[in-house]
Amino acid sequence: MAAIVPISVQLYSVREASAENFDQVLDVISRIGFKGVEPFNLFGKRPADFRRQVEDLGMQVSSTHFPWVNRSPDIGKVADTVKTLGLDMAPGGFWPDDFKDMEAIKRTIDTTQGLVDDLARYDLKLFLHNHYWEFAEVEGRPGYHYLQDAVPDVLFQIDTYWAANFGKNDAAAELSRVRERTPLLHIKDGPLVPDEPHVAVGSGKMNFEEIFAAVDPSVFQWAVVELDHCATDMLTALAMSYQYLTTQGFAEGNV
């Protein structure tokens, strides 16, 4: 078993409730026991104020999806935000068209290397978050593999559910492939069926024992729960996910 890491939650999971009352959502998340949060939107809060609020609730900003460096025109502002949140890694990710064929993949590789080089000037590293489309085969191998091999300095937040590509791939094997460059995981669960809602972690078809065994314990920092859509109450599903991951010894919480 790999070393136990702290548990965080991607706040995209609670985006509707956050738009109505972000302060209340953060309070509930802290009461569930999460040690960290990963924002995708600060809902009008300044980065310094958001970080202070999170820390006052006994949590940390584990990582961020705000702002994604390859979707922002000013990399300096991205760097300022990421550093103000207390982080040393900036997020990025790509769309399906960025992996549709070899020409697109070559452009994506060039873009990624450029972002790595640009962020290095600010003493920041780039991590990429995947969806399922990066694992579609192009000329006989998953498109993501070309990028992983071509840009050795990029880090990864492997979304383990999407890496399974609806059962077509072995998520643990995909993680193992870049384990020495994967400080963050997205942990979600579900039926591995396109367009079907996610479920509380531990109640779907993902094999988390294999996934957590595949990490590099010297690199792995945070297990970040994310449920994009859920057929049940989202906060209840997050609490169940927290309970499963902490009681199974995969992650450590505050409760």
Per-residue pLDDT tens for 27-40?
999 999 999 999 99
Predicted confidence band of residue 2 (pLDDT cuts 50, 70, 90):
low
What's the domain range around 241? 5-252
Total of domains in the chain = 1
- As a whole-number percent, the residues of the chain with pLDDT over 90 amount to 97
Residue 141: strand pairing partners: 138
Token pair 């094997």 in the structure block, residue: 173
CATH number for the domain spanning 73: value is 3.20.20.150
Q: Say if residues 8 and 224 touch (Cβ distance below 8 Å).
A: yes
pLDDT in tens, 97-135: 999 999 999 999 999 999 999 999 999 999 999 999 999
Model confidence, pTM: 0.97
- Which amino acid is located at 234 in the chain? M
CA distances from 180 to 70, 152, 184, 220, 238 (A): 23, 11, 11, 8, 28
Tokens of 106: 């070559």
37 phi/psi in degrees, rounded to 5: -135, 150
Tell me what percent of the residues of the chain surpass a pLDDT of 70: 99
Q: How many CA atoms lie within 13 A of 178 on its CB side?
A: 30
